[in-house]
Amino acid sequence: MSRSRLRTRVPACLLLALAVATGWTPSSAQAQILFATGGRTQLTIQPPAFAGLDPTPDEDVSARLLWLFAPIQTSKIVASTVAPGQSFKLFAEARDVTTGNAAPEIELIDGAPPMDFIRNITRQSLIGWSRIYYRAEAPASSGNSNLHGDDNHTVYFTWTAQ
């Protein structure tokens, strides 16, 4: 069985707590806050029922992204992963985006540059959120965890100018 464990690291939760505790309000939207919820996600790809077939991909939609205080200029959220020794495929897609436009599903590859995840975030709304859809797959030709070990991903989401 091959597995992908995903951890998101977004320390912006501390900034949100600080802003709320101090009563700070954005006058010119200088601060942008982005954080992910859902904690660790584990995906397990099941072996095929019959020899020669590809294993069944696994999916998860329990994680969410939340962003506050849209910047003055149009912006986007990009995604990347760190997964040393990655052997299997991991995909991500933004769904149910409330502010901005979801990019098509992306493949997260260790060491690849960040890819557009959500585009066209404007000042029209101070709050936005999205579900994060993860899909892991391992074609029969890529082997399994017994051969390669599990894939462990740390997925990064970054808010940047478009």
Q: What are the domain boundaries of the chain?
A: 2-24+31-161
State residue 145's pLDDT score.
60
**Residue 35 — very low, low, confident or very high, per pLDDT cuts 50/70/90?**
confident
CA–CA separation, 159 vs 15, rounded Å?
15
Question: The tokens of 98 are what?
Answer: 């409330």
CA–CA separation, 58 vs 2, rounded Å?
10
Q: Is the pLDDT of residue 143 over 50?
A: yes
Q: Is the pLDDT of residue 104 over 90?
A: yes
Q: Could you identify the residue written with the tokens 């990019």?
A: 103
**Residue 140 — very low, low, confident or very high, per pLDDT cuts 50/70/90?**
low
State residue 148's pLDDT score.
63
Taken in order 62, 63, 69, 70, the sign of the CA dihedral is: negative
How do residues 64-95 score in pLDDT, each as one tens digit? 999 887 667 888 999 999 999 888 889 999 99
Q: Is the pLDDT of residue 1 over 60?
A: no
pLDDT more than 70, % of the chain: 67
Q: What angle do CA 30, 19, 129 make, to 5 degrees?
A: 70
CA–CA separation, 142 vs 144, rounded Å?
7
Asked if 40 and 110 count as a contact pair (C-beta separation under 8 A), the reply is no
**Residue 15 — very low, low, confident or very high, per pLDDT cuts 50/70/90?**
very low
CA–CA separation, 117 vs 133, rounded Å?
11
18, containing H or E segment: helix 12-22
**Residue 125 — very low, low, confident or very high, per pLDDT cuts 50/70/90?**
low
CA–CA separation, 55 vs 84, rounded Å?
22
